[in-house]
Amino acid sequence: MGQEKVKKELLFGKKNYRFLIVALAVIALGFILMIGGGSKDPNVFNPEIFSFRRIRLAPTIVLLGFAIAIYAILTSPKNNK
């Protein structure tokens, strides 16, 4: 009895992995946009912490990244047979 080659299949297709990589990049971008706005002196208030970028834009981008990741997971890979 000869050994047959077992074809290893990945869990997702190539398209799914690309979407997951894009999702991770978008999530990372959102967290990068949240960085900063603090004050070096704790006795001085810096209103920059409440900027549009940190309060509205960055969390929206993070949620968009999670939505892309969910889409990548739920999309069925195309079987090329």
What are the tokens at 42?
């704790």
CA-CA distance, 59 to 4, in Å (whole number)? Answer: 50
pTM: predicted TM-score of the whole model, two decimal places: 0.80
pLDDT, position 2: 60
Q: How many CB atoms lie within 10 A of CB 19?
A: 19
Please state at what angle helix 14-34 crosses helix 58-74, rounded to 10 degrees: 170
Tens digit of pLDDT per residue, the chain (81 long)? 567 777 777 788 899 999 999 999 999 999 999 998 777 888 888 888 889 999 999 999 999 999 999 999 999 877 644
pLDDT, position 27: 98
